[in-house]
Amino acid sequence: MKLKRELYLEQIRPYYGSDIIKVITGVRRAGKSVLLDTIKDELIQSGVNASQIIYINLEDLDYDHIKNASDLNREIKYRITNEDKYYVFLDEVQHVDEFEKALASFRATLNVSLFVTGSNSTLLSGELATLLTGRTVEFEVMPFTFREMKEFYELNNMSWNEELFYDYLKWGGFPLRFDYGSETSVQRYLSSLYESIVNRDIVKRSNSIDRKSFMDISLYILANAGKELSIDNIIREYAKSNKKISKRTVYNYLDRMKKAYLIHGVGRYNITGKTALSNKEKQYAVDMGFRTINTNTINYEDTFFLENVIYNELRARGYTVFSGKTYKGEIDFVAVKDSRKCFIQVSYLLANEATVQREFGAYDMITDASPKYVMSLDKMDLSHDGIVHLNIIDFLLGRKELVLT
């Protein structure tokens, strides 16, 4: 059975009947189409006649005749037969040339509520996007969170226990990967998915991209997500195979990965000056499975894997996330929502006093009164001196919530 993704639905519901365009973005196979199906079902349950709903998947060969804005305009106007409000769903709309012109026209001339999806962040960028300025609201859909994984297991009567966290930490939350029982099958699926994203959303969009070098560089970046990114190190690693690549090319690959939602850049936050710093970014993978596919191994004590899970969880919950810069060093995350914030340190286990002192001591030089957290897999509550210790699994499953000030 399909999971009803309440995490996103509660954000989108206030806009169901609005004439503002609902833009649902995110990496391929994260569940955007299923989310559209759920929205359609909810509309019908609320009393909307099914005949007033128009759904077009622009990757379906049945709609291969829709090439540009004029084609799309004709298709929609042909289907609208009365003055009632219509709900129009356009899946993977980026395949239509100058689609923004059609959307702007529909919004201005028809009684419609528009929902569109896309798998590339250039969906609403460029010159034509100015037609839609102030007329859209965007929601990024990500693979399952750990809590959604639990809900999916329970919905489908699959055996669940919290030790599956280590499976999630290794293979991530792409919904279809749960159809496969063995690690070999999961890895094969994720590898095929990654290659499909590269082929369709990156290589196909640019004749200048060399597929082989992009695969090599991008998988290296994903495997090292969360670490300080050094372009020079990437070039040196690539050179070990007697190959050369320029800094410009690596930066171009990074940009392409971001636009395809494979990674997210995390900027620095100057805690002392309380400002965001430019040109300082860490990269985190959109899904843990993409970190693992090229090695099939994982060090569960690697804090960067845990950081990546926490980062994705925060983004899924609607936080804006920075890494924190202090006089003394760094704080893993500054999580901001509704102009309020908190600080977060992530550790595997607080196994000894030295580790406790290192993680809690990261806050020693911070005078900001915002809440401070240390997250780890320890089950004992080690909170002290006003710094709250949270068990990572309790946080991911919603048993413990963050407080912001």
| Measured distance CA(123)–CA(200) in Å, rounded | 14
Q: Given a cut of 80, is residue 295 above it in pLDDT?
A: no
Angle ∠(139,321,142) on CA atoms, nearest 5: 35
Nearest residue to 323 (alpha-carbon basis) of 280, 250, 268 = 268
Two tokens, residue 113: 């509520």
- Interval 243-257 mean pLDDT: 94
Write the pLDDT tens digit of every residue in 128-164. 677 888 899 999 999 999 999 999 999 999 999 999 9
Question: Beta-strand (E) ranges in 38-123?
Answer: 53-57, 86-91, 112-118
Q: Given a cut of 60, is residue 97 above it in pLDDT?
A: yes
Q: Given a cut of 80, is residue 272 above it in pLDDT?
A: no
Write the pLDDT tens digit of every residue in 159-181. 999 999 999 999 999 999 999 99
| Measured distance CA(268)–CA(84) in Å, rounded | 49
Quick one: pLDDT at residue 228? 83
Q: Which of helix, strand or coil describes residue 329?
A: coil
Q: In what order do the strands lie in the sheet with 21-25?
A: 53-57, 86-91, 112-118, 21-25, 136-140
| CATH ID of 6-140, from 3.30.420.40, 1.10.3720.10, 3.20.20.105, 3.40.50.300 | 3.40.50.300
CA distances from 345 to 70, 280, 351 (A): 52, 19, 15
8-state DSSP, 127:
S
The β-bridge relationship of strands 372-376 and 388-391 is parallel
Q: Residue 93 — very low, low, confident or very high, per pLDDT cuts 50/70/90? A: very high
- Interval 16-45 mean pLDDT: 97
Write the pLDDT tens digit of every residue in 333-357. 999 999 999 999 999 999 899 999 9
- Interval 200-210 mean pLDDT: 86
| Measured distance CA(403)–CA(129) in Å, rounded | 37
Quick one: pLDDT at residue 288? 96
Where is 39: in which H helix or E strand? helix 32-45
Hey, where are the domains in the chain? 6-140, 145-228+259-405
Alpha helices in 240-371 (DSSP H): 247-259, 288-292, 303-316, 353-361
Cβ pair 164, 145 in contact under 8 A: no
* Single-letter amino acid code for the residue at 301: E
